[in-house]
């Protein structure tokens, strides 16, 4: 990963079951300024079982309420036979392509594709065997924390480090789709960095682009956002994804935020030096004659900045002008 914020376009289910849409989404992600495209590698069978009792029915105030888990995942998954072509097109476009595996068979499959990174989804942060297996491959690990308690985050990081995998990025995430901005709590980002000593970022499910910009200013090195070609076509994740225009605006805003953050810098640049000419300084503001005393009526702190520093004003009061000076003369030690 680069020093600049690593911006990930999440494909998720936004291909809507069409490989051509998936490939064009990759190309659009490149046009939008993304650094990477991320997939999800699972099947309905690797995530759950085909069971129609209430345990497996979604009923949590989401856009998917009423669906059974198996049916949703069957509809939303990215066919594994597509992965090779998606990885190929991403490489041609100059994008990093990687995925979230949801079981060990997905890790094995992604190893065949030479994935450069592994992403652990929020709901898998407690799947320590999966994290162990992915981390054992020695690739950078990105781990979302949407449903995690502090102990879960600690254990996930410890699991990676126990395998000598220390390239870890923890993503602040709110597991709601879409997420309420009031629940974002982005101040957690610098706390994660301080508390765990790892890289941090944001997996954002809020609407709009403000979250990634704020997260960048709070020290995020990674931003992940769901990406879609056309919201009107629909899809499992369409309602909280950004289209190409919106994603492009987000990337530009993040890059501008990076530029504006800059570095800690008190140096006196040439621009600053020129601007200081408009600062305050001491000027003679009335015509004076030799022998006149310096008073608050004939010397004031005004713009521009060609005279003595205003801090000397009180020390000058009562001193005597050495010769005549017209109004508008900058004060100097030659005046008294």
What residue ranges do the domains of the chain occupy? 6-42+77-261, 268-336
Whether the pLDDT of residue 1 is over 60: the answer is: no
C-alpha 143/C-alpha 194 separation (Å) is 16
* Token representation of residue 158: 């410890």
User: DSSP character for 68?
Assistant: B
For residues 6-13, average pLDDT: 96
C-alpha 140/C-alpha 120 separation (Å) is 11
Backbone angles phi, psi at 177, to 5 degrees: -135, 90
C-alpha 9/C-alpha 55 separation (Å) is 32
C-alpha 101/C-alpha 109 separation (Å) is 9
* Token representation of residue 148: 């995690």
Per-residue pLDDT tens for 273-323?
888 889 999 999 999 999 999 999 999 999 999 999 999 999 999 999 999
Per-residue pLDDT tens for 70-113?
999 999 999 999 999 999 999 999 999 999 999 999 999 999 99
DSSP result, 134-151: HHTTT--EEEE-TT--HH
Instruction: Give the count of beta carbons closer than 10 Å to the beta carbon of residue 153.
Output: 18
Q: Are 283 and 299 in contact (CB under 8 A)?
A: yes
CATH number of 268-336: 3.90.1210.10
Whether the pLDDT of residue 264 is over 50: the answer is: yes
Q: What is the pTM of this model?
A: 0.88
Domain with residues 6-42+77-261, CATH architecture: Alpha-Beta Barrel (3.20)
């Amino acid at each position: 990963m680069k020093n600049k914020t690593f911006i990930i376009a999440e494909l998720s289910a936004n291909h809507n079951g069409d490989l051509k849409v998936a490939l064009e989404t990759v190309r659009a992600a490149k046009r939008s300024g993304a650094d990477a495209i991320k997939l999800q590698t699972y099947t309905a069978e690797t995530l759950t079982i085909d069971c129609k009792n209430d345990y497996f029915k979604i009923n949590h105030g989401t856009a998917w309420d009423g669906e059974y888990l198996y049916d949703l995942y069957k509809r939303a998954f990215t066919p594994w036979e597509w992965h090779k072509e998606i990885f190929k097109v991403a490489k041609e476009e100059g994008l990093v392509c990687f995925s979230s595996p949801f079981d060990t068979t997905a890790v094995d499959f992604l190893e065949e594709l030479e994935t450069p990174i592994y992403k652990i989804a929020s709901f898998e942060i407690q799947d320590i065997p999966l994290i162990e297996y992915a981390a054992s491959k020695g690739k950078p690990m990105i781990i979302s924390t949407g449903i995690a308690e502090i102990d879960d985050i600690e254990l996930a990081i410890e699991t990676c480090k126990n395998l000598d995998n220390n390239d870890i990025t923890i993503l602040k995430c709110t597991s709601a789709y879409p997420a309420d901005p009031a629940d974002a709590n982005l101040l957690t980002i610098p706390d994660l960095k301080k508390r765990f000593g790892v890289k941090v970022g944001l997996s954002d499910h809020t609407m709009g682009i403000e979250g990634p910009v704020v997260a960048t200013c709070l020290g995020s090195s990674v931003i992940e956002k769901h990406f879609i070609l056309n919201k009107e076509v629909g899809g499992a994740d369409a309602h909280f994804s950004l289209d190409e225009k919106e994603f492009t605006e987000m990337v530009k805003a993040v890059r501008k935020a990076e530029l504006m953050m800059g570095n800690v810098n008190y140096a006196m640049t040439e621009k600053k030096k020129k601007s200081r000419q408009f600062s305050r300084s001491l000027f003679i503001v009335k015509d004076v004659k030799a022998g006149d005393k310096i008073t608050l009526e004939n010397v004031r702190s005004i713009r521009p900045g060609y005279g003595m520093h205003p801090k000397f004003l009180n020390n000058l009061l009562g001193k005597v002008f050495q010769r005549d000076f017209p109004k508008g003369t900058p004060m100097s030690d030659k005046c008294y």
